[in-house]
């Protein structure tokens, strides 16, 4: 049975790119251009996943999420255009399952949707994914210092520069808790531009990229009130 995804995006060119990427991957796709339209569709149809733009013409994606969460636990992937929105998604615990920042690659978006569906609906989609078959022994992180890539379960992680240095700092100190300040100093070229929330948002993104390659692998541990550590 194809999975049914609702794409809530008011910009037609972006919406079309997403529909195309998802339909190519075999998803059944519906669309809504406003928050009101989305809530009406969600009230009358069942969806396996929601892709929700934050900036909608009639209400914000946050409002849609808040309203929806009163009655539904459908997985939500936010589309964001600004760092300040990422901070809100991470900081306010809106009940989002993931987010993708614009501009994004349609392939990455489709991979994130597959990862969300794997997490929320067991393994029924495994046959449809191009990711390697995850096995417990494959859940490793390796650093290739020559190519400057980090591999997860044998595949290169597609990390931003800051994400790469952040994960590398944790890998170089396995089992040791690094505070957000320490991580900023180690990973950011100009640490003054980062905030605690920025570190949290990057950790969230790294975790999500690791899950895309190894769904059951969660090597980064959150130590509440302290910082982050890589599991030994």
Q: Give me the residues that bind Ca ion (CB under 5 A), please.
A: 10, 53, 55
Cα(206)–Cα(150) distance, rounded to whole angstroms? 11
Min. distance of Cβ 101 from Ca ion in angstroms?
A: 13
230 bridge partner residues = 220
Task: Locate all alpha helices (DSSP H) within 132-195, ordered by sequence.
Answer: 161-171, 180-187
Which of 22/56 has CB closer to Ca ion?
56
Min. distance of Cβ 81 from Ca ion in angstroms?
A: 7
Which of 25/53 has CB closer to Ca ion?
53
Cα(95)–Cα(110) distance, rounded to whole angstroms? 20
Strands 220-223 and 227-230: antiparallel
Which of 54/183 has CB closer to Ca ion?
54
Min. distance of Cβ 14 from Ca ion in angstroms?
A: 8
Min. distance of Cβ 60 from Ca ion in angstroms?
A: 10
Q: What is the DSSP letter of 54?
A: S
Min. distance of Cβ 222 from Ca ion in angstroms?
A: 31
Which of 106/155 has CB closer to Ca ion?
106
Residue nearest to Ca ion according to CB distances in the complex: 55
State the DSSP H helix or E strand holding residue 210, giving kind and residue range, or none if neither: helix 196-213
Which of 42/54 has CB closer to Ca ion?
54
Cα(220)–Cα(73) distance, rounded to whole angstroms? 25
């Amino acid at each position: 049975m194809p999975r049914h995804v609702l794409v809530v995006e008011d910009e037609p060119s972006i919406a079309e790119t997403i529909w195309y990427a998802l339909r190519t991957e075999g998803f059944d796709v519906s669309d809504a251009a406003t928050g009101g339209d989305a809530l009406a569709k969600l009230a009358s149809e069942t969806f396996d996943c929601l892709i929700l733009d934050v900036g909608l013409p009639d209400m914000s994606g946050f409002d849609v999420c808040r309203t929806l969460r009163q009655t539904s636990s459908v997985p939500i992937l936010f589309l964001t255009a600004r760092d300040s929105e990422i901070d809100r998604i991470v900081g306010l615990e809106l009940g989002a399952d993931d987010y993708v920042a614009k501009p994004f690659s349609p392939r990455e978006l489709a991979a994130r949707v597959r990862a969300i569906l794997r997490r929320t609906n067991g393994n029924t989609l495994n046959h449809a994914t191009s990711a390697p078959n995850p096995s417990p022994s494959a859940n490793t992180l390796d650093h290739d210092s020559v190519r400057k890539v980090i591999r997860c379960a044998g595949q290169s992680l597609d990390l931003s520069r800051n994400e790469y240095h952040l994960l590398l700092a944790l890998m170089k100190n396995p089992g040791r808790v690094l505070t957000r300040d320490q991580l900023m100093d180690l990973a950011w070229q100009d640490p003054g531009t980062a905030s605690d929330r920025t570190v949290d948002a990057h950790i969230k993104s790294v975790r999500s990229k690791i899950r895309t390659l190894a769904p059951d692998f969660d090597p980064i541990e959150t130590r509440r009130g302290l910082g982050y550590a890589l599991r030994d």
